[in-house]
Amino acid sequence: MAGLYRRAARRAAAGCETGRVPPLAVSTYDLSIFIHVTAVVIGFGATFAESLTFPIAMRLDPRHLPYVHRLHMAINQRLATPALAVVLLTGIYQAADGPYEFSDAWISASFVIVLLLGALLGAYLVPNDRKLGAMAEAELAAAGPGPVTLSEEYQRRARSVGMAGAAAGVLVVIAIFLMVVKPGA
């Protein structure tokens, strides 16, 4: 509730007794929402495409797999991880300055999801893609120019990473639902 009063005070300070913002005025809070949503789209949008790259590479030629793992690492390290930091920082600002409270269940759940995604990216997905890339390179080199049969260990680990990636995608969708619907607000 305190956030509602802060927002009304900001608008009144901007010279709007009616609570309306002048046509071209953009508040810091609204700019923060724009940055927050943009970070989600840029940072996590590409991660959904990762689910297509592995099966396509396997269908075309397993020799593409080292590239696929490098691509996944680049997406996760250069897009998803920095976006996650931006989402966390802008989310903290919005919860502190906006019309909602940290104690609202949908905000708390969203913060938990952000922390889970960060842990999943840093502790599992990126390190395992690095290992899978090295395994694929070694197994492809051992196969020579002939047909490639990937080891059971590689396939097991790749399935595990695929499931973790799918779980991360579900978490992103749940967070988007919570942010848009704001259950209980």
Q: Which two tokens stand for residue 119?
A: 């842990």
What pLDDT digit, counting tens, does each position of 75-128 carry? 999 999 999 999 999 999 999 999 999 999 999 999 999 999 999 999 999 999
How many other β-carbons are positioned within 10 Å of the β-carbon of residue 113?
21
Confidence check: pLDDT of 26 > 90 = no
Distance CA 136, CA 110 (A): 36
Q: State yes or no: pLDDT of 14 exceeds 60.
A: no
Q: What is the CATH number of domain 28-181?
A: 1.20.120
Query: How is residue 171 written in tokens?
Result: 């978490």
85: CB partners within 8 A, 6+ apart = none
In the predicted structure, residue 23 carries a pLDDT above the cut 80: no
Taking the whole predicted model, whether its pTM rises above 0.85 is answered as no
